[in-house]
Structure 1
Amino acid sequence: MRKSVRISGRMAAAAAIAAFFASPALADTTVIHAGSVIRSADAQASGPATITVTNGRIVAIEDGIQPVPEGATMVHLVDKTVLPGLIDLHVHLTGDPGGDFWKEAVEPEEWSVVVGAKNAQATARAGFTTVREAGSGQSSAFALRRGTAEGLIPGPRIIAAGPALSIVGGHGDTNGFRPEINEILDSGFNCTGVVQCAEKVRLASQNGADVIKITATGGVLSQQGRGLEAHFTSAEMKSIADTAHSLGLSVMAHAHGARGIQQAAEAGIDSIEHGTYLDKEAADAMIANGTVLIPTLMAFQGVTERLGQGIYTPVVEDKIRAVAESARVFMGRARDWGVPIAFGTDAGVFGHGRNAGEFRLMMGQGMSSREALASATTAAATVLGMEDEIGRLEPGYSADIIAVDGNPLLDATVLENVDWVMVRGRVME
């Protein structure tokens, strides 16, 4: 006798929990009856179709509503559009927005894993089946990565950086406390000079980093009032990039100031996160070196929403106001100049689960719905080097699948309301 589950909107919680924790290693088969399927952002939406998933992978996509084999579970989505799970290339799962900076001194790292578990579930429910965790404590993101991979924590696939590399006294370094407290809280990933920076990359790799995160320029939310230009020297950034690449790792660089962006691109850094003051010279360097922009427009919206509420220190509030105007236009300029762009939000600066708000902001700076969807699927998968694993619905690909009302190729804002999610073959509720 076949098992059948009809879904209208949300599944019953008990059924979803059971489906999630069923290990895909048990040769489980799920058959999805879809009203329409978008295999990738460069394709058109199909008519009714049947997707078969076995052991966490897509094994077939067939036109029409096909019979369900004995023993398979049926998911009934005949009034929905089914498409690849979304990818967010810049999140901070282990943190929530607006926390006082001094809490770093009183909250244990174990608490960040608890917070991260909550946020991982919210992120997956919002349709994001893969995320790049862009800086965390010593091992909290690695613990979450393992938890979601093994099905112990409901959440997305996690590509984790661990602690960011920064200069002493710069953005990403512990600051704002007495010197002896700064020293205690130091994560051990500050570096000065090409040799030490190479050493810290190797240390990050040894500790389990999937990607290297650096703070290439000053930042908005750190407690310094200084500028947003380059922190590392060009030689230091080249040492970081060369060492990472020799280990098979890419490098993502927090960067705001134009010259810092340019230096990072010329050094071989793989992606620029934020990119607020990008100018034509910096854009040309990114294009020449194949450096991808991750604009994180939701971050700027998120911090602006909290101005004047006593959440940020006066130093930080001044910096937020200073970047606000550029944040409304820089991605559109980058697109017009031909800079490659992929999707990332900086969730954690704003509330997790709101990630899809980025689509509306990207479209507000000139992207089409199709381009915006591609940025969060095929383009993002390519940034991760996982274009043969995620970002599309094809036989052999991971079963990372979502369902929505409407057609996101025509209006990507429908992705703000995701009705059904499967992560690596496990159904989320």
Structure 2
Amino acid sequence: MFRIAAAAVAALSFMTPANAETIVIHAGTLITDAAKAASGPSTITVTDSRITAIDAGLNPAPEGTRLIDLSQHTVMPGLIDAHVHLTGDHDSAFWKGFIDTTEYGVAVGLKNAKLTLDAGVTTVRDLGSEPQTMFAIRRAISEGMHAGPRIIAAGPAISIIGGHGDVSNVRPEIIAATSGYNTCTGPKECSQRVREFSRAGADLIKITATGGVLSQQGRGLEAHFTPEEMTAITGTARSLGLKVAAHAHGARGIEAATRAGVSSIEHGTFIDDAGVRAMKENGTWYVATLMAYRGIEEQLGTGIYTPVVEGKIRETLAFVGKGLGAASRAGVPIAFGTDAGVFAHGRNNEEAAMMVERGGMEPRDVLIAATKGSAELLGVSAETGTLEIGKSADLIAVEGDPVRDIGALERIRFVMAGGREHPVAQ
């Protein structure tokens, strides 16, 4: 059942450059689809970044090909992190955003892209960066200039004036110099921002539908936008073929964003039964970002956060994982997202164990969320999320069986992203 049909080989051959390298990979255990049972020893053939064959058994590598022996490991699709901030570092104080240049942000993002690959993450959705930085990083990686995961990029988040995602509680001249490009008031202006961000190169739109934990405003974590403003954003995005991801903590803000038609709720800290019902009815995805809470808890009292931020952090910690548990039990679609940047990049794969331990999910369901589930949310299922003939060679090897031991995802031994091998820091 693993043999590629001769006709399919012929169909693929005309798309393959004559000088393309062919790589043969031996897998001890193979997970092609996280929703299906694993296979035993298998051979995967990769030509010009694409999977061209998947065969049962450890077959000899044909002459002229290169063999990668992963016969002692489990090979599976690369992880997909639906919520990262590559240009941010967890130990960088908020005021550095006022002095760091965009060029420096690109350098930080490229550094963190490599660390993300170390964690077995071969695709990310970046949900917040300074104008143009992430689009430059996305291009550099896609053109093979730098190692990194496939990037789906939102660019800056759309915010209300003075809300999460805008600048608060600093000198007026700093606000004047750094604020306004991403804020909107009223349906007309909010629609305009969506069109501007689309024009700039955004793959999707990110909104801060509620207050946020790490922003310097202390007015709570409930709804920011009016229902009319959010509907204008989602409607305009839809007309442009773009999805909308909503940062949302407070229960009523979560419900309002869901009713307005966002594609995903990010964080969902204080979600209640009404919010869960709304998400289930609307097919809205839940992205829990549990690692964000671990990251901010680890830095309490270190001076990284101001007193107003530390107060909001303490408000959230008792709720970590509760929303994920309620949403997954209700059948809300779950995607894997971490909020990397709030904690140290390269620890993304620790999210999986938290989804089991704090969210009560089964390991297999976490694997689905981290591969084909996130691929569906990001709109890249035709390229990645499962290992299939014709798809991009995005795969990882782990030590152990992640279906039985989700901690295996923290033992990454090999990464291939887009057919390119990535040396993993052990």
2:190–2:233 contact (8 Å) kept in structure 1:
yes
Runs of 4+ with >6 A deviation: none
Residues 168-207 of structure 1 aligned to structure 2 (within 5 Å): 168-186=161-179, 188-207=181-200
1:87–1:343 contact (8 Å) kept in structure 2:
yes
Find the aligned partners of 1:71 and 1:53 in 2 and give their Cα distance: 13
1:29–1:73 contact (8 Å) kept in structure 2:
yes
Per the alignment, residue 256 of structure 2 pairs with 263
Per the alignment, residue 167 of structure 1 pairs with 160
1:361 corresponds to which of 349, 354, 361: 354
Which segments of 5 or more consecutive residues in structure 2 lack a partner in the other structure?
1-15
1:352 corresponds to which of 345, 354, 369: 345
Per the alignment, residue 3 of structure 2 pairs with none
2:74 corresponds to which of 70, 81, 89: 81
Name whichever of 65-74 and 94-103 sits farther off. Answer: 65-74
1:218–1:227 contact (8 Å) kept in structure 2:
yes
1:166–1:173 contact (8 Å) kept in structure 2:
yes
Is residue 233 from structure 1 mapped to residue 189 from structure 2 by the alignment? no
Find the aligned partners of 1:177 and 1:143 in 2 and give their Cα distance: 29
Per the alignment, residue 52 of structure 1 pairs with 45
- Where 1:367 maps in the other structure, the secondary structure is coil
- 1:314-341 residue CA offsets vs partner (Å, 9 max, x unmatched): 0000100011101242211222222221
- Where 1:377 maps in the other structure, the secondary structure is helix
Find the aligned partners of 1:318 and 1:247 in 2 and give their Cα distance: 39
Residues 209/26 of structure 1: CA separation in 2 closer, same or farther (3 Å cut): farther
Find the aligned partners of 2:65 and 2:233 in 1 and give their Cα distance: 49
- Where 2:222 maps in the other structure, the secondary structure is coil
Per the alignment, residue 118 of structure 1 pairs with 111
Find the aligned partners of 2:18 and 2:95 in 1 and give their Cα distance: 44
Q: TM-score, normalised by structure 1?
A: 0.93
- Where 1:263 maps in the other structure, the secondary structure is helix
Find the aligned partners of 2:382 and 2:57 in 1 and give their Cα distance: 25
Name whichever of 176-185 and 265-274 sits farther off. Answer: 176-185
Q: TM-score, normalised by structure 2?
A: 0.94
**Aligned residue identity for 1:293:** Y
In the TM superposition, what is the alpha-carbon distance from 1:224 to its structure 2 partner? 0.9
- Where 1:79 maps in the other structure, the secondary structure is strand
2:416 corresponds to which of 412, 418, 422: 422
Is residue 385 from structure 1 mapped to residue 379 from structure 2 by the alignment? yes
- 1:197-219 residue CA offsets vs partner (Å, 9 max, x unmatched): 11100100100001100000000
Per the alignment, residue 5 of structure 1 pairs with none
- 1:129-157 residue CA offsets vs partner (Å, 9 max, x unmatched): 00000100001111110111111111100
- 1:208-260 residue CA offsets vs partner (Å, 9 max, x unmatched): 00110000000000001111111011111111111111111100010000100
Per the alignment, residue 55 of structure 2 pairs with 62
Per the alignment, residue 136 of structure 1 pairs with 129
**Aligned residue identity for 1:400:** D
Name whichever of 25-34 and 111-120 sits farther off. Answer: 25-34
Find the aligned partners of 1:253 and 1:348 in 2 and give their Cα distance: 18
1:96–1:350 contact (8 Å) kept in structure 2:
yes
In the TM superposition, what is the alpha-carbon distance from 1:25 to its structure 2 partner? 9.6
Which segments of 5 or more consecutive residues in structure 1 lack a partner in the other structure?
1-22
1:408 corresponds to which of 395, 402, 411: 402
Find the aligned partners of 1:86 and 1:24 in 2 and give their Cα distance: 28
Per the alignment, residue 4 of structure 2 pairs with none
In the TM superposition, what is the alpha-carbon distance from 1:26 to its structure 2 partner? 5.0
1:36 corresponds to which of 29, 32, 48: 29
**Aligned residue identity for 1:100:** A
1:335 corresponds to which of 308, 313, 328: 328
Is residue 214 from structure 1 mapped to residue 207 from structure 2 by the alignment? yes
Residues 58/174 of structure 1: CA separation in 2 closer, same or farther (3 Å cut): same
Per the alignment, residue 394 of structure 1 pairs with 388
**Aligned residue identity for 2:191:** A
In the TM superposition, what is the alpha-carbon distance from 1:162 to its structure 2 partner? 0.4
1:86–1:127 contact (8 Å) kept in structure 2:
yes
- Where 2:140 maps in the other structure, the secondary structure is helix
Find the aligned partners of 2:74 and 2:91 in 1 and give their Cα distance: 36
Find the aligned partners of 2:73 and 2:402 in 1 and give their Cα distance: 11
